[in-house]
Amino acid sequence: MTALTVRLPHSLHAKTRELAARDGVSVNQFIASAAGEKLASVLTVDYLRQEAKLGLREDFDRFMRAVPDQPDEADRG
């Protein structure tokens, strides 16, 4: 494990302490979890962008034509 010094504005540090306590974890665990969630989010977007580059518009159009034309659930009342 690596130690890291992070400078936070007082208000952000206070809210982080508050939420960590509410979750029953240390501030360190809370920040490590938040960093992990952010990494997962960014890596997911990167993956989806890579996959999208491999897609073909013709395939998309073919699949969309196969979907029945029905109103959305919200429009049904």
- 17 Cβ contact list (under 8 Å, min separation 6): 27
Within 10 Å of residue 14's Cβ, how many Cβ atoms? 11
> Tell me: the pLDDT tens digits for 14-70?
999 999 999 999 999 999 999 999 999 999 999 999 999 999 999 999 999 999 988
Residues 32/37/38/44 CA torsion (nearest 10 deg): 140
Nearest to 29 by CA among 18, 20, 38: 20
Q: What pTM does this model have?
A: 0.67
**For the chain, what are the domain ranges?**
11-67
